[in-house]
Amino acid sequence: MTASEAGSFRVMVITGGGIFTLPMGFIAQRVQSLAAAYIVLLGAYVFIAYYSFLGSQVRATGASDVLP
């Protein structure tokens, strides 16, 4: 699976309610506000932004990894 496919899968799972529906439901019932429950998704999108900009970059681990 490529990084592009993995990123797309993450977005689909998160926005499709595959992972965060339980915590969102708990928060919505606890504070009586569905709008407040969307803070869970905000955290997920922050992680996706981090992964897309920094986490998915290939890093060289030593001098032998660099090609001439």
Residue boundaries of the structural domains of the chain: 20-56
27 and 40 in contact (C-beta within 8 Å)?
Answer: yes
Largest Cα–Cα separation, the chain: 61
5-24: pLDDT as tens digits: 777 777 777 666 667 788 88
The verdict on pTM exceeding 0.85 is: no
pLDDT of residue 30: 94
Q: Other C-beta atoms within 10 Å of 47: how many?
A: 13
Residues 6+ apart with CB under 8 A from 37: 23, 24, 25, 27, 28, 31
Say whether 2 sits in a helix, a strand or coil: coil
